[in-house]
Amino acid sequence: MTATSEALLITSQEGAVRTLTLNRPAALNAFTTALLVQLREALEAAAQDAGVRCVVITGAGRGFSAGQDLSDALIKPPMEPGEVPKDIGHLLDNYYIPLALRLRSMPVPVIAAVNGVAAGAGASLALGCDLVLAAEGASFIQAFSKIGLVPDCGGTWLLPRLVGRAKALELALLGDKLPAAEAARIGLIYRALPDAELAAEAQALAQKLAAMPVKAIAATRQALDDALLLDFESALKNEALLQSRLGFAVDYQEGTRAFLEKRKPNFSDR
Ligand code: LHQ
């Protein structure tokens, strides 16, 4: 399962935890179209594989991801007289949106282990994961405004929901570097921890989630996202629908039986 170290994306597996490592360290893992496609395909493969119960996304080298590779011919502004600007929205339509949607609808939890700077779409991708762990040496940068763009890859949706409108505007307008510890303090991410502990802690958290009823975890993510768009009564009804569905699933039966029988549950559904 582990690919060669020259691969743009390194895939590895420990038990039921699949780790996807962005691997363009010389460019701080900036996204090329090839890397975007490989990441989406790797998420798709994990979604289809019953042996995967949690996914970790991290970066090789000193960065998590510096966002879109700005030297990519598809988005490079005219450099010579006579060249015409490209429609960079195509890149979003064809690469980022499918990736963001795939990530947000994974049937298993996804952890971002942010090992270094996460800028632009790199930050959006990390924040789109279910739990974000970051090394204290890492930082988050809403780099978009600095190059005349809006947050993308889900950034405009995620930021105000995570930290509220005022903080979202501060981060998005100023584009300043937000250190991991501050990101944790304001609730943008789950936790910041010493750099040397990140990989092991991410793996331990992933193994813990992998042993949980992952169908319920995916439904919880969906319910929380839905609830932000629903009125109270509709949210109550949505919860009831989800409980009905989950109540027929084997994990609820196993979890409740295990509680009543005073034993550790063994969750297997997906
Ligand atoms: C890079 C990049 C990079 C290429 C560092 N590209 N090489 C979606 C669709 C359509 C259009 C556009 O955008 C989007 C979404 C987006 O993501 S827009 C936002 C794109 N990202 C940025 O604007 C961030 C640009 N990078 C930076 O500001 C800095 O590199 C940060 C603050 C991330 C890190 O700074 P340093 O730690 O000082 O590292 P560095 O700047 O020296 O970078 C190291 C190398 O990585 C360097 O290459 P070199 O050959 O000189 O060593 C950089 O050129 C390269 N690199 N980001 N996005």
* pLDDT tens-digit series, residues 122-146: 999 999 999 999 999 999 999 999 9
Q: Say yes or no to pLDDT of 2 above 50.
A: no
Kindly give the number of the ligand 1 atom that is closest to the alpha carbon of 75: 11
| Range 12-25 average pLDDT | 98
pLDDT digit string, tens, across residues 38-83: 999 999 999 999 999 999 999 999 999 999 999 999 898 898 999 9
Q: What is the pTM of this model?
A: 0.96
Q: Say yes or no to pLDDT of 92 above 90.
A: yes
Give me the domains of the chain, ranges plus CATH numbers: 2-210 (3.90.226.10), 214-261 (1.10.12)
- Among protein residues, the one with the nearest Cα to ligand 1's atom 1 is 27
- Per-residue pLDDT band for 3 (boundaries 50, 70, 90) equals very low
CB of 152 sitting under 6 A from ligand 1:
yes
Residue pair 154/128 in contact (Cβ under 8 Å)? The answer is yes
Length of the chain: 270
CB of 118 sitting under 6 A from ligand 1:
no
CB of 67 sitting under 6 A from ligand 1:
yes
CB of 69 sitting under 6 A from ligand 1:
yes
Percent of the chain with pLDDT over 90: 93
What pLDDT is recorded for position 1?
45
Mean pLDDT of the chain: 96
Q: Which residue has the tokens 């319910």?
A: 223
| Range 229-246 average pLDDT | 97
What pLDDT is recorded for position 6?
73
Which of the listed residues 36, 70, 87, 153 should we mutate to test ligand 1's pocket, taking the one with most ligand atoms within 8 A of CB?
70
pLDDT digit string, tens, across residues 178-236: 999 999 999 999 999 999 999 999 999 999 999 999 999 999 999 999 999 999 999 99
| Cα of 196 from ligand 1 centre, angstroms | 24
